[in-house]
Structure 1
Amino acid sequence: MKHEKSQIKAVLGIPLLIVALGSLAFGARADDTPIRLADMAQSLNGIASQVMIDQELDHKYGVDVSYKGYPTLDGLFNAIRGKQVDLGFGGWTGFAQFRAQGYPVVNIFPVGRGATLDVLVPTDSELQSLDDLKGKRVASYAGAAGTATVLLRVMLNDFYGFDPAATGDLQYVGPGIIPALLDSGDVDAGLLFDPLATKAMASGKYRSIGNLGDLYKEKTGDDFLWISLATNDDFARANPEALAGFLKGWVDAVEYVKSHPAVFEAYGKKLGLDQAGIDQLAERVIRDYATTWNDDYINGLKAFAERASRVMDKGFLDELPEEAFSTRYAP
């Protein structure tokens, strides 16, 4: 357990930073419920997860969290639906699709609303808005069925009148090579997420022509959900109090991050960001956090699912089971 908890420090490159800010020292108890938490390696979700562990906010609410980062999205999703972990971060549409396919996973809380999802172009590009992407080559980091890709296609189809996937203009590549593809002219625009989007913009070589989370809110009035927390039915049935405790600790950790921007310093420096870039990263991540989870919010997600099922290939979110969501454990 101690070894697993130490892994996150090495992954995020923020050794002892948050510990140095002071520990609340709630202390572990022998009867605290272990929770195995999974995420993508080097994800920004790890910042609040690190706070929860180092500030012992998990033990404040009777749980003992260990964190593991997976190098690929497939590995992460396989671990979540295969019950190799108890909780995991990921795109809510993916979890809902798994539920429709018979996997007993359930979205139990929002994490990020898409405020760090930007469509980037070179600074000297003639493209100024998403409307200019028609007939242009666009790269997405998120894969064909990733939540960010789904959002991009829905936005372009429903509000700008074209779908780059339908015309063969959308391609899927690893996030790390999108800046190089923009430099070479192999693509005209690329969808990226933080910290890579902030790093790209902070370099001065790239600019955003559209923040997807903000634009979706502007067009529909609904908050989008990009990343959620999901668990499996077996763990939820056996440990409802532990899940409720974890979410209380998570909300506390998010509030800690919001009030202690120093947690971004070492992380940003590891990315090579100057102070302006670090401040930009902190502002975007803090704005991305979502902590409201109720039926009204979920109804907005159902409205998005209807849009997505019309745009995506047959079989994608054609059915959205009620069991794909639960508010039972929300603080």
Structure 2
Amino acid sequence: MGFKPLLKVSALVVVLAAVLWFYYFSKPAEPYKITVGAVGNSPHALIYTAVSDLGIDKKYNLELSVKYSSPGEVERQARDREVDVGASSIFSVAQDNLKGSRLRIFGPLFYSPNVLVARKDSRFMSIEDLPGARLAVPPKVSAAFASLDLVARKKEISLESRTTMLFGNLAETANFLAKGEASVALFSWPDVANFLVSGEYRSIGGLNNLWEESVSRPFSFIGLTAYQDWIDANPEAARSLVAAIIETSSYFKENPETIIGYKEKLGLKSDAAVDLAKENMPRLLMDSWDDDDLEDIRFVISEMVKDGLLGAEPADDYLVKLR
């Protein structure tokens, strides 16, 4: 073969190699496909809907399939591996790890969204007034009840001995309050906004605020959860999801007025309820996952142990901070 034909072949090989290199390295990477469990009509709904609306999922190469259920069902789905990533209370994850589970908290979601609400025609003005109350609350096995119990103990109030408790789901507790069978009930954001703007009820304290007053720390409540083997097999997907949650939460903290676009998704029934949500919900969203955040969780768990609400502290590997 002469010099010129050889040169042409060599040039063709170089061009083909360049084309193949460009195709391989420039084609979009396959998205991280994650099935996520979340509670409907809750801060979860705000976060995950906005992740998509704002294009943050695309930014972090995420393809999320969100399954909305009740709080207990969301935790069960995570426990039974029906989703890749769940949203579990720090209480239930700690309990599961004490039983040998390898379910982990690997990212942030939000602080306690629970609020004590009293009838306006009652004597109850603050949590200190609770002794003697007829109190409508979620079931004893729920994280919401455990968090109220812990906050009340910080105020030296025993719910068991100093209140009469009526247990039920949201509709049942709302009915107890409306009929006057209870004077105080525990609700959560965003549902509580609809009650407070009705003119018939008042807030006597959000649990996150009450906890901060007592211990000068936020009340860590719900985190991103997954089994250790899923995290080990999908570290980049896990990191991307954590980053997306943090960016979305930061967006709402910086732009609280944008919550108005999620009025229907959050079940807010009036503009007044939207205004309350704009004022209160962004501050409950966790926009970091650093050593201080993990320490806040450890502190809550240690206080549960001190107060006898948890048998022991789990091994520290129930908390994961991806590098």
Question: Is this a same-fold pair by TM over 0.5?
Answer: yes
Q: In the superposition, relative to structure 1, how do residues 53 and 29 fare at CA in structure 2: closer, same or farther (>3 Å)? A: farther
2:292 matched residue in structure 1: 296
Deviations 1:145-195 (A, max 9, x none): 333222211222232x22112456233210122222112222221111012
1:246 matched residue in structure 2: 241
User: Aligned with 1:320: secondary structure?
Assistant: coil
Determine which structure has more spread, i.e. the larger CA radius of gyration.
2
Structure 1 residue aligned with 2:221, among 221, 226, 234?
226
Which letter does structure 2 place at the counterpart of 1:91?
Answer: S
Q: In the superposition, relative to structure 1, how do residues 192 and 299 fare at CA in structure 2: closer, same or farther (>3 Å)? A: same
Q: Measure, in 2, the Cα distance between the counterparts of 1:180 and 1:226.
A: 26
Which letter does structure 2 place at the counterpart of 1:56?
Answer: G
Aligned length: 296
Q: Measure, in 2, the Cα distance between the counterparts of 1:269 and 1:252.
A: 20
Deviations 1:274-314 (A, max 9, x none): 3222111122111111123233332232232232224345x
Superposed counterparts of 1:128-207, under 5 Å: 128-141=125-138, 143-159=139-155, 161-166=156-161, 169-207=164-202
1:60 matched residue in structure 2: 59
Q: Measure, in 2, the Cα distance between the counterparts of 1:295 and 1:256.
A: 22
1:319 matched residue in structure 2: 313
2:280 matched residue in structure 1: 284
User: Aligned with 1:292: secondary structure?
Assistant: coil
Which letter does structure 2 place at the counterpart of 1:37?
Answer: V
Shift of 1:237: 0.5
Q: Which runs of 5+ in 2 are unaligned?
A: 1-26
Deviations 1:32-83 (A, max 9, x none): 121111112222311221121233322322221111112x333211210111
Shift of 1:133: 0.7
Shift of 1:328: 1.5
Which letter does structure 2 place at the counterpart of 1:127?
Answer: F
1:100 matched residue in structure 2: 98
Alpha-carbon contact 2:34-2:65 (below 8 Å) kept: yes
CA-based RMSD of the aligned residues comes to: 2.2
1:111 matched residue in structure 2: 109
Alpha-carbon contact 2:32-2:237 (below 8 Å) kept: yes
Q: In the superposition, relative to structure 1, how do residues 52 and 164 fare at CA in structure 2: closer, same or farther (>3 Å)? A: same
Alpha-carbon contact 2:57-2:244 (below 8 Å) kept: yes
Superposed counterparts of 1:247-286, under 5 Å: 247-258=242-253, 259=255, 261-268=257-264, 271=267, 273-286=269-282
Q: In the superposition, relative to structure 1, how do residues 271 and 328 fare at CA in structure 2: closer, same or farther (>3 Å)? A: closer
Alpha-carbon contact 2:46-2:262 (below 8 Å) kept: no
Alpha-carbon contact 1:96-1:317 (below 8 Å) kept: no
Farther off after superposition, 30-39 or 292-301: 292-301
Deviations 1:8-38 (A, max 9, x none): xxxxxxxxxxxxxxxxxxxx95611211111
Shift of 1:325: 0.6
Structure 1 vs Structure 2: percent identity of aligned residues? Answer: 21
Q: Measure, in 1, the Cα distance between the counterparts of 2:209 and 2:282.
A: 14
Which letter does structure 1 place at the counterpart of 2:298?
Answer: K
Q: Measure, in 1, the Cα distance between the counterparts of 2:143 and 2:266.
A: 28
Q: In the superposition, relative to structure 1, how do residues 322 and 199 fare at CA in structure 2: closer, same or farther (>3 Å)? A: same
Q: Which runs of 5+ in 1 are unaligned?
A: 1-27
User: Aligned with 2:159: secondary structure?
Assistant: coil
After superposing on structure 2, the runs of 4+ consecutive aligned residues of structure 1 that deviate more than 6 Å are: none
Farther off after superposition, 217-226 or 170-179: 170-179
2:124 matched residue in structure 1: 127
Alpha-carbon contact 1:236-1:243 (below 8 Å) kept: yes
Farther off after superposition, 145-154 or 35-44: 145-154
Q: Measure, in 2, the Cα distance between the counterparts of 1:146 and 1:312.
A: 16
Q: Measure, in 2, the Cα distance between the counterparts of 1:50 and 1:287.
A: 18
Q: In the superposition, relative to structure 1, how do residues 263 and 210 fare at CA in structure 2: closer, same or farther (>3 Å)? A: closer
Q: Measure, in 2, the Cα distance between the counterparts of 1:31 and 1:305.
A: 38
User: Aligned with 1:165: secondary structure?
Assistant: helix
Which letter does structure 2 place at the counterpart of 1:106?
Answer: R
1:208 aligns to 2:203 (yes or no): yes
Shift of 1:220: 0.4
